[in-house]
């Protein structure tokens, strides 16, 4: 019997070894593909946990469409919901959502690298390849530093948000245990730009509360910068000249978009009696400051989005589509993609042969990747909008808003998501997954497809415009 157990144990080790080799091979050949598979697996696990009776406040099993939608929204750090997170899910269900948000915000492969670093104090080649694909790091030597920065940044900023929010919840009259839970949940949700809240009735009661709003504004902005930018800034924060071009473009573009979003949305809604117009002046200013940043990914709102004008929705559509920084918790086509295309337009209008920014020349291949990512993103939004228009009787404005919010993993909603049929919910699930994984995978694949050609065809310029 002992020999039989030894033989079976040897077989198990052999199977595990072959599985490890196969995973390593896939990681080396196509890290982005393995990342996609693991993200899908995590969503499947979270869906299964949310389908348990213990996950709902009523003790009944959640419908599959709602469990899958919530799991995808959590892991893809979106924030769109079909049921009220604060009321429908039990504490167990909310804890599962919180874990999904943290895993999705970190990135599955970045989390694996962190665990490997904690266990063996080293990161293997496979983990470096996977983390590099997920964090947009081009040099494997930087992966270890980046993973450490990710860990420190998450720990410091989420802890800081927790420390700021905990006294607020205690002052609201919550018990210490409940206050700790609410502060912990909101801290993770804010930094990861997830948009989930467990406040009964939402954030409407805090529209004029600076204590509640400032952590959302600051935490969401920093979380949307992306870990590569944070690594560069933290490495030489006293010497901005030494920051990488990526960090400079990300910070500059994010700041401009935030200011423009705040001013434009605030001006459009200032006199709207259904949204900002009924608020005191100080509350309007705070609501505008929050509204200027949340469309770029965080998805938190103290004012009902459904009460805003269609013109404001269009502005928010544009901000959501651009999104945040690369390898961040934000979605969209990313601010660097947008910045490179704007710089290309400026260079062409001036007749400059090169695209330049902050004393650096941007390679033409970067522009091709940016155009491809933006075009694929627009195609996804167009296809999703068409599908929802066919599946529902809703108008284009609200459908387009919801589709872009799902694709950009933002989470803002005009209120139609809970009323959608299951078929339309599945469309949004696909958009959330594609928005979180699709453009990342495409960018990684295109960046690696740099073919050398011995023969180049004659150049000719077709007429454009």
**C-beta separation of 94 from 62 below 8 A:** no
CA dist 223 and 322 (Å) reads 15
Q: How do residues 314-354 score in pLDDT, each as one tens digit?
A: 999 999 999 988 877 788 899 999 999 999 999 999 988 89
pLDDT over threshold 50, residue 140: no
Of the two residues 85 and 296, the one the predictor is more confident about is 85
Q: By CB neighbour count within 10 A (0-12 exposed, 13-18 middle, 19+ buried), where does 448 fall?
A: exposed
pLDDT over threshold 50, residue 269: yes
CA dist 101 and 187 (Å) reads 11
pLDDT, position 276: 95
Please give, one letter per residue, the 3-state secondary structure of the chain.
CHHHHHHHHHHHHHHHHHHHHHHHHHHHHCHHHHHHHHHHHHHHHHHHHHCCHHHECCCCCCCHHHHHHHHHHHHCCCCCCCCCHHHHECHHHHHHHHHHHHHHHHCHHHHHHHHHHHHHCCCCHHHHHHHHHHHCCCCHHHHHHHHHHHHHHHHHHHHHHHHHHHHHHHHCCCCHHHHHHHHHHHHHHHHCCCCCCCCCCCCHHHCCCHHHHHHHHHHHHHHCCCHHHHHHHHHCCCCHHHCCHHHHHHHHHHHHHHHHHHHHHHHHHCCCCCCCCCCCHHHHHHHHHHHHHHHHCCCCCCCCHHHCCHHHHHHHHHHHHHCCCCCCCCCCCCHHHHHHHHHHHHHHHHCCCCEEECCEEECHHHHHHHHHHHHHHHHHHHHHHHHHHHHCCCCHHHHHHHHHHHHCCCCCCCCCHHHCCHHHHHHHHHHHHHHHHHHHHHHHHHHHCCCCCCCCCCCCCCCCC
Of the two residues 46 and 9, the one the predictor is more confident about is 46
pLDDT over threshold 70, residue 447: no
Q: How do residues 42-97 score in pLDDT, each as one tens digit?
A: 999 999 999 999 999 999 999 999 999 999 999 999 999 999 999 999 999 999 99
**C-beta separation of 273 from 267 below 8 A:** no
Q: Per-residue pLDDT averaged across 223-227, rounded?
A: 83
% pLDDT > 90, the chain: 55
pLDDT over threshold 70, residue 20: no
pLDDT over threshold 90, residue 259: yes
pLDDT, position 119: 38
pLDDT, position 120: 37
The pTM for the full model equals 0.86
Average pLDDT over the chain, rounded to an integer: 84
CA dist 254 and 132 (Å) reads 23
pLDDT, position 116: 42
pLDDT, position 125: 43
């Amino acid at each position: 019997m002992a020999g039989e157990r030894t033989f079976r144990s040897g077989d198990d080790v052999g199977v595990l070894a072959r599985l490890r080799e196969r995973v390593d091979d896939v990681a080396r050949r196509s890290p982005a593909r393995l990342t996609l598979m693991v993200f899908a697996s995590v969503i499947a696990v979270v869906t299964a946990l949310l389908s348990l009776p213990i996950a709902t406040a009523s003790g009944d099993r959640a419908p599959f469409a709602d469990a899958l939608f919530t799991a995808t929204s959590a892991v893809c750090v979106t924030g769109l919901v079909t049921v009220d997170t604060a009321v429908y899910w039990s504490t167990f269900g909310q804890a599962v959502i919180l874990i999904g948000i943290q895993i999705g915000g970190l990135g599955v492969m970045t989390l694996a690298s962190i665990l490997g670093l904690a266990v063996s104090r080293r990161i293997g080649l496979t983990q470096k390849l996977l983390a590099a694909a997920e964090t947009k790091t081009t040099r494997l030597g930087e992966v270890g530093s980046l993973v450490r920065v990710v860990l420190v940044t998450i720990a410091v900023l989420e802890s800081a948000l927790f420390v700021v929010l905990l006294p607020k919840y205690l002052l609201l009259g919550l018990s210490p245990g409940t206050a700790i839970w609410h502060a912990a949940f909101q801290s993770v949700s804010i930094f990861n730009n997830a948009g989930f809240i467990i406040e009964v009735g939402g954030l409407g009661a805090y529209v004029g509360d600076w204590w509640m709003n400032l952590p959302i504004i600051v935490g969401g902005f920093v979380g949307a910068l992306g870990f590569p930018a944070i690594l560069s800034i933290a490495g030489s924060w006293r010497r901005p000249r030494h920051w990488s071009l990526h960090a400079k473009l990300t910070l500059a573009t994010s700041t401009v978009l935030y200011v423009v979003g705040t001013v434009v949305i605030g001006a459009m809604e200032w006199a709207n009696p259904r949204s900002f117009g009924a608020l005191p002046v100080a509350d309007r200013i705070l609501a505008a400051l929050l509204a200027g940043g949340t469309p770029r990914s965080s998805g938190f709102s103290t004012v009902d989005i459904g009460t805003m004008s269609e013109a404001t929705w269009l502005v928010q559509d544009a901000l959501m589509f651009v999104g945040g920084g690369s390898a961040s918790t934000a979605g969209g086509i990313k601010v660097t993609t947008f910045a490179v295309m704007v710089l290309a337009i400026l260079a062409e209008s001036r007749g400059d042969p090169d695209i330049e920014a902050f004393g650096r020349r941007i390679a033409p291949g970067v522009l091709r990747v940016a155009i491809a990512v933006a075009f694929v993103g627009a195609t996804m939004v167009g296809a999703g909008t068409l599908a929802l228009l066919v599946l529902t009787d809703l108008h284009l404005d609200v459908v387009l808003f919801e589709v872009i919010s799902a694709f950009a993993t933002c989470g803002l909603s005009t209120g139609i998501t809970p009323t959608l049929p299951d078929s339309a919910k599945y469309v949004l699930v696909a958009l959330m997954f594609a928005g979180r994984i699709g453009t990342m995978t495409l960018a990684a694949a295109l960046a690696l497809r740099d073919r050398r050609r011995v023969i180049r065809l004659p150049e000719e310029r077709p007429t454009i415009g």
